[in-house]
């Protein structure tokens, strides 16, 4: 969640029409670089979560070692639990 | 801080290559597991299709122990098994020599297989994508398997439950055991206190001795120094400091803490504490980790301690997490 208490920058989640969510809600990686390059914890307009950053670093390392990756989103989801708790 | 920040090792099965299962943490590769299986095997992929996997390549499998397709994969660990019928893709009536031990017959399709000779019974299929199973104990001798209708991907194996499909063509085929471990990993293991977390899909071993879920152990000379959590001789229980907790087939989350300062170790399973024990300091450095099995004195996986199961997650901390944290981590 955004790291502020005044609702600033929460437009991307506080709407039901997908406004501001394109970087996450598309299947063609539109906004992918932007998402990873300009994230700030104060908002969730853009920016990768710590779990997404860890998953990305993991994927880069595995592919550089000639390994294969699958179930990327599952990894992100499980990492999110570990990052968000306790 | 978080569970992730505090962990010394985090493994969520996602990346593999021959002889390796990659851990998410540490990020420098020192927590990557060595994998071995000196034969081909099969897995169920994300689409539900069965596909062959080359020797020494870990299997990211989506089929759960209870026969449903999972959304996230687990890395599969199985003991050695042999498919006695061939070819496996499309069944034909045949006679096989069997011993007087429990066997399990499985197949997909809507046909049936009728047993005669040294055993009797009929297994009837329920659908092209459904795997049906029949466990029986024949007398030693010739078993006749009479096939009717559509019977595909069939398997007859010694054992009281089925394992993943072993593909055959013109003869029986043996799939060798899977092993997953790290040696020289003392820096990742709490030497005086720690926490071990395993999220497992348990296949149920009904016999065959104690089976290990995870093991932290010393060097070859100190292999019995460490922590092992496994099953009883009955196979489907956790035995821990005299406390036995019954495990059913399927998914379970197991957390074990230990602390030599307080001399306490605790076991949590599926969201509740199931046991506690006194815990003395390790007699020597603990440097080896194995999942769903243990390593024997000769640095090879100990066959008679290996588990059947799928690992969904594995993690280590070098501190003993609180009871509340262990309950949260182990909650399904």
SS3 B305: helix
DSSP summary character for residue A63: H
Interface-testing mutation among B12, B320, B326, with chain A (most A C-beta atoms within 10 A) = B12
* DSSP codes joined into one string, B35-58: EE-SS-EEEE-TTS-EEEE-TTPP
CA of B325 to nearest chain A CA: how many angstroms apart? 7
* Contact present, B177 and B80 (Cβ < 8 Å): yes
Q: Does residue B208 belong to the interface with chain A, where contact is any CB pair within 8 Å?
A: no
CA distance B329 to chain A (A): 9
The bridge status of strand B15-17 relative to strand B33-36 is unpaired
Task: Give the C-alpha distances (Å, rounded to integers) separating B73 from B24, B56, B329.
Answer: 15, 18, 19
Q: Do B17 and A67 touch (CB under 8 A)?
A: yes
Cis link prior to B254 (omega < 30° from 0)? no
Closest Cβ–Cβ partner in A75, A82, A83 for B14: A75
Name the β-bridge partners of B193: B259
ipTM of the complex: 0.91
pLDDT tens for each residue of chain B, 332 residues long: 899 999 999 999 999 999 999 999 999 999 999 999 999 999 999 999 999 999 999 999 999 988 899 999 999 999 899 999 999 999 999 999 999 999 999 999 999 999 999 999 999 999 999 999 999 999 999 999 999 999 999 999 999 889 999 999 999 999 999 988 888 899 999 999 999 999 999 876 544 555 667 777 666 555 445 666 665 544 444 555 445 566 778 899 989 898 889 988 888 989 999 888 778 787 778 888 888 876 655 455 555 567 788 999 999 999 999 999 999 999 99
Asked whether the beta carbons of B307 and B231 are under 8 A apart, the reply is yes
Looking at the complex, does the CB of residue B6 fall below 8 Å from at least one CB of chain A? no
Q: Nearest 5 degrees, angle CA B261-CA B287-CA A85?
A: 60
Interatomic CA distance for residues B314 and B11, integer angstroms = 5
Q: Kindly provide the residue ranges of all beta strands, DSSP E only, lying in chain A, ordered along the sequence.
A: 68-69
Q: Does B3 touch chain A (CB under 8 A)?
A: yes
Tokens of B9: 């090792």
Which residue of chain B has the CA closest to A55?
A: B24
CA B303 – CA B293 distance, rounded (Å): 8
Question: How far apart, in Å, are the Cα atoms of B61 and each of B70, B225, B324?
Answer: 9, 32, 31
What pTM does this model have?
0.86
């Amino acid at each position: 969640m955004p790291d502020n208490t005044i609702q600033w920058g929460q437009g991307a989640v506080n709407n039901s029409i997908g406004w501001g969510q394109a970087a996450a809600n598309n299947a063609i990686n539109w906004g992918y670089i932007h998402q990873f390059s300009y994230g700030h914890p104060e908002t969730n307009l853009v920016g990768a979560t710590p779990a997404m950053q860890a998953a990305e670093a993991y994927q880069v390392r595995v592919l550089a070692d000639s390994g294969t990756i699958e179930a990327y989103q599952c990894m992100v989801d499980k990492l999110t639990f570990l990052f968000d708790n306790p | 801080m978080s569970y992730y920040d505090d962990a010394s090792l985090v493994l969520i099965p996602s990346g593999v290559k021959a002889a390796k299962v990659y851990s998410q943490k540490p990020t420098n590769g020192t927590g990557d597991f060595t994998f071995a299986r000196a034969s081909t095997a099969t897995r169920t992929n994300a689409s539900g299709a069965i596909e062959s996997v080359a020797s020494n390549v870990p299997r990211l499998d989506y089929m759960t122990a209870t026969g449903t397709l999972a959304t996230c994969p687990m890395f599969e660990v199985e003991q050695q098994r042999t498919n006695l019928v061939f070819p496996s893709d499309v069944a034909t009536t045949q006679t096989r020599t069997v011993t007087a031990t429990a066997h399990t017959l499985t197949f997909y399709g809507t046909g049936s297989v009728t047993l005669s000779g040294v055993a009797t019974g009929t297994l009837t299929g329920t659908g092209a994508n459904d795997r049906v199973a029949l466990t029986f104990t024949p007398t030693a001798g010739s078993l006749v398997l009479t096939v009717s209708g559509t019977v595909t991907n069939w398997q007859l194996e010694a054992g009281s439950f089925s394992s993943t499909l072993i593909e055959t063509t013109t003869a029986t085929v043996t799939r060798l055991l899977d092993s997953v471990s790290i040696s020289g990993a003392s820096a990742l293991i709490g030497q005086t206190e720690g926490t071990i977390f395993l999220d497992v899909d348990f296949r149920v071993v009904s016999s065959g001795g104690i089976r290990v879920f995870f093991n932290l152990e010393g060097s070859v000379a100190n292999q019995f120094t460490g922590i092992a959590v496994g099953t009883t001789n009955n196979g489907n229980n956790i035995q821990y400091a005299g406390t036995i907790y019954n495990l059913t087939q399927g998914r379970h989350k197991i957390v074990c803490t230990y602390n030599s300062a307080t001399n306490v170790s605790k076991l949590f399973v599926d969201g509740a504490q199931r046991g506690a024990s006194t815990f003395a300091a390790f007699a020597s450095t603990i440097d080896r980790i194995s999942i769903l099995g243990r390593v024997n004195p000769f640095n090879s996986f100990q066959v008679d301690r290996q588990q059947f199961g799928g690992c969904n997650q594995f993690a280590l901390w070098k501190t003993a997490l609180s009871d509340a944290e262990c309950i949260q981590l182990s909650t399904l």
